[in-house]
Amino acid sequence: MISSINLFLHQAVEAYQRGNYSGAEVMLKRILEVDQKNFGALCILGLINATQFKYRKAVEYFKKAEIINPNDLLNLKNLGAALIDSGENKEGLKRYKKIVQIAPLDSEAWFKLGITYGQLGESLNALQALEESISLQDNNSDAWYFKGVVLKDLGRESEALLAYEKTIELNTVNSLAWNGKGGILYLKNNLKDALACFDKSISINPNNPLVWYNKGSVLSELKKYKNAIESFNKAILLDENFVKARCDKGSALALQKDYQDAVSCFEETMKLQIDHEYLLGNYIHTKLQIADWKNLTRDIENLINKIDTNEKVITPFFALSVFDRPELHKKIAKQWIKNKFPSKNFIAPIANKHEKIRLGYFSADYREHPVAYLTSELFLLHDREKFEVFAFSLSAAESKDPVRTELKRNFDHFLDLENHSATEIAQLARELEIDIAIDLGGHTQDSKTGIFANRAAPIQVNYLGYPGTMGAEYIDYIVADTTIIPDYSRVHYEEKILYMPNSFMIDNSSRVPSTRNFTRAELGLPENAFVYCCFNNGYKFNLQQLEDWVEILKAVDNSVLWLSENNEFFKINILNNFSKFKIKSDRIIFASRLDAIDDHLARCKIADLFLDTHPYNAHATAIDALKAGVPLITYTGNAFAGRVAASLLKACDMSDLITHSRQEYINLAIKMATDKDYFLKIKTKLNENISSGPLFSTKKFVKYLERAYLIIYERYLFGMTPDHIMIDGSKSS
């Protein structure tokens, strides 16, 4: 009988090896009818089912074999693999742990154990197992590759890079390793080398949609949007359900100002997966960019409902122009921080007081950008007996950028860090012993919040670039004023408030209008009309705002509205929207972009009255209007972004131009155009206050800000926790 069983078993093995699985299975089951505990038959039946991807059935046979011979290494390995393939990772882990106990010198077993730990999210255990495997067989390129994967998951980027490079050294055609190396270089912001790695990966295996997607992401960061879109298209061609690639394609289209195509892309993506992260918010923001308000009320209601149920539907910056609800802005920011930039490290208190307080200003906008225009003189005017001033530049600028050149002269140290990761920049800040880190970007494009999640400095401050709370426990203070954040509104901010006297905004006093004399004729403006203007970005416009302007224009016959052209789609849609209310197109005039900011300031003087937007006010554009002597009317809101113009007007002693309802805003705009005496009175007062008021007194503002820095630094040295600080503007510096 035994010899017959062995013969049947031998024949079954031969059939299995020939690929005759059904024949082999028949013979093996006959054996089990005679000998239910035939170890060999059970093992081969397990292999037959595993080969045919019937993993659960394979597990049944391997487990029966395990009962008979619990320490058989080959069966344990097969069982472990089948358990993993059937989704029973924890059970598979038990077998691999047993294997390395029985055979501690089995490199492959340690490797499989490491992979299984990794699948279970136990990265540290995975790393230990993979390192054990490598110590037994250091030429296993797969072990090195997965070590890189695990190290990346642990945030140990530099070590991960070395592991990927070792993989490539052992196997130059490992496309996944080239992709992994590219991913690390991308995180380090070494974009050109990352792109080369993704190209190498694609040359080895052009059919991996993820690598094409990664290449598109790098190209987007390099602002090569056309090429990025081509890469995203390739990823989508390989995987038509690659929703993330579709979303990022839409964002790239928007960034290259192909807004209409971006809207269409987002709409197509929502047909596949409407609840994909941040898709709805991106869609709404892009529609706002082109004044496409169709179904916008419905979409915003849907958005708010999703926010209420804690869905990730909109980024913090995009939310500012959608609704005037600071409690939602905080909720969105906290969620964004939790998911994207959780706290990584809190450094120990500094032991010794520096001779000078070391200020680190972090920005991706040290170039021709509103933040740079406004702050340039701040860095120059800091008291060098008390402060040492560092620029941490997070993004490159054009080689001949005049603002960049000026900024480099205004700092004690200017650090070009565009090719460094957030972790590396935070580490550098700690090595330089920066005392106060000031984030000038917040939740805006190209910023690196991860720097502050890694605690770049013992004191971290949110200032100017982002008008709202960061929602992060590791940002200690936000610079504001009592208009921006009244006492009752503090609850909507994660940070403690550094209250500046007057306004929180600063301006460069040397930034003045050019001597160029513009005429109404060359700007396309009627000679005798009352010129309302608004030079805000397109995303700050909405239907409610337009309806208010319609009422104003209808009440003031001899008036026009002068707007920034923003983009071609915006112009078309704005004109169409006005035409629905019987406002003729010749009453809406568009201003094209001027390269020189001083020329723009000179051009602003032509306008009679600036009409602000709600819920997202004019910020730098409001400064420009007031500096040019153009009165501005604002309808103040509840959130930071909607209270900036009011802050600026109060600092000019022009509170009469602050309104608190739509109708009050409309009535005042009409009065300014129809009551010439009142208009002249306001205009005269503004021009007097520009020179005498605090808004454009940059030196005074710098002293106030320095006083704030000294206070929060002293509090830190004395072990005091952050608290709201009110800077008294009546005290001499």
Whether residue 558 is found in the same domain as residue 665: yes
Q: What is the largest CA-CA distance in the chain?
A: 119
- CATH (domain of 438): 3.40.50.11380
Whether residue 492 is found in the same domain as residue 578: no
Whether residue 361 is found in the same domain as residue 336: no
Q: What is the pLDDT of residue 58?
A: 95
Looking at the domain assignment, is residue 135 inside a domain? Answer: yes
Whether residue 135 is found in the same domain as residue 247: no
Contacts for 142 with CB less than 8 Å, ≥ 6 apart: 111, 167
Looking at the domain assignment, is residue 351 inside a domain? Answer: no
Q: What is the pLDDT of residue 655?
A: 98
Looking at the domain assignment, is residue 732 inside a domain? Answer: no
CA–CA dist 402, 369 (Å, integer): 11
Segment 696-712, tens digit of pLDDT = 999 999 999 999 999 99
Whether residue 487 is found in the same domain as residue 535: no
Instruction: List 530's β-bridge partners, or say none.
Output: 559
Whether residue 433 is found in the same domain as residue 532: no
- CATH (domain of 595): 3.40.50.2000
Segment 482-522, tens digit of pLDDT = 999 999 999 999 999 999 999 999 999 999 999 999 999 99
Looking at the domain assignment, is residue 716 inside a domain? Answer: no
Looking at the domain assignment, is residue 568 inside a domain? Answer: yes
Dihedral sign computed on CA atoms, order 322, 326, 330, 333: positive
Segment 128-160, tens digit of pLDDT = 999 999 999 999 999 999 999 999 999 898 999
Whether residue 386 is found in the same domain as residue 331: no
Query: Mean pLDDT in the chain?
Result: 95
Whether residue 449 is found in the same domain as residue 399: yes
CA–CA dist 386, 394 (Å, integer): 26
Whether residue 478 is found in the same domain as residue 562: no
- CATH (domain of 277): 1.25.40.10
CA–CA dist 110, 105 (Å, integer): 8
The domain of 310 spans: 243-340
Contact status, residue 59 vs residue 88, Cβ threshold 8 Å: yes
Whether residue 68 is found in the same domain as residue 173: yes
Looking at the domain assignment, is residue 572 inside a domain? Answer: yes
Q: What is the token pair recorded at 337? A: 């921080």
The distance from CA 203 to its chain's CA centroid, rounded to whole angstroms, is 30
Based on the structure, what is the number of domains in the chain? 4
The answer, yes or no, to whether residue 351 has pLDDT greater than 80, is no
Neighbours of 57 (CB within 10 A): 17
Contacts for 39 with CB less than 8 Å, ≥ 6 apart: 65, 68, 69, 72, 75
Segment 273-307, tens digit of pLDDT = 989 999 999 999 999 999 999 999 999 999 999 99
Looking at the domain assignment, is residue 163 inside a domain? Answer: yes
The domain boundary residue, chosen from 305, 340, 375: 340
Phi, psi dihedrals of residue 637, rounded to the nearest 5°: -110, -160
Whether residue 578 is found in the same domain as residue 663: yes
Whether residue 8 is found in the same domain as residue 157: yes
Looking at the domain assignment, is residue 518 inside a domain? Answer: no
